[in-house]
Amino acid sequence: MVTEDDFFNELAKETDEIYLQSPVFKKNEKMNWWYSICNGPILKNRPVVFGLNWGVAKNHLHSPQRNQPSETDNNKWPFRNQLDHYLSNHFKLDSDKINYSNLCFFRTPKANYLSYQDWRMAIPLFKKYVDFVQPPYAIMLGSPKHLNEEEYSDRERISHISKGRTKRAFIHTGVLFGKYKFVSVPHPQARVVRESRDFLWEETKKYINNKIIIEV
């Protein structure tokens, strides 16, 4: 039986090999951005919450993540309190009871440093992570625009607009990697009013609790 440590070590080795071949590494080799896999221990059969990709701390030289974390690194969660608010209110969870990762393991100052090829190389690594966890559902913080139709299917969109506002906020629902209940919600740092966030997280809860996914 493959343990969490065994799996992490295998995935870290594969991530290293692919990262060194990636366009973002070749263009920025001297920057020491590197990659990370997860922010906390792997918790099998627990939800996965993920963003786009890991950032780069200002004036900080990163190193590759070589070992599975033994505990959640709260210093890497600038928006943890807001996330915990919605996880607690809608799912009776806090961020210590979930798996947190990113769709792309490669670190960059901003996501637009990543090319189409970087995403295509990185997403299969994230899929391996999710398939090992086997989560009951996955919630993405941000837009799912980098997921293709094979990776994200049964797509639907729910919107909300607050009184006096002209811009709508959205969640996207569907199925991730052919088998996992999936919702993307606005990132905690996105400019979305509280009324819209509350509505969209309530819709997220309804979808996850009511939608039946049939594996094929």
Q: In whole angstroms, give the CA distance from residue 72 to residue 35.
A: 17
Residue 113 DSSP code: G
User: Which regions of the chain does DSSP assign to beta strands (E)?
Assistant: 48-53, 99-104, 137-141, 152-160, 169-176, 180-185
Please count the structural domains in the chain.
Answer: 1
Q: In whole angstroms, give the CA distance from residue 204 to residue 164.
A: 24
Q: Which structural domain, as residue segments, surrounds residue 143?
A: 4-70+79-210
Tell me whether residue 32 is in a domain: yes
Q: Is the pLDDT of residue 213 over 50?
A: no
Tell me whether residue 193 is in a domain: yes
Tell me whether residue 216 is in a domain: no
Report pTM.
0.92
Tell me whether residue 215 is in a domain: no
- Looking at residues 41-70, what average pLDDT do you find? 91
Q: Look at residue 178 in the predicted model and tell me its pLDDT.
A: 97
- The model's pLDDT over 101-151, given as tens digits with 9 standing for 90+, comes to 999 999 999 999 999 999 999 999 999 999 999 999 999 999 999 999 999
- Looking at residues 85-96, what average pLDDT do you find? 90
162 band by pLDDT with thresholds 50, 70 and 90: confident
Distances (CA, A) of 132 to 3, 73, 95, 128: 10, 21, 19, 6
CATH classification of the domain holding 32: 3.40.470.10
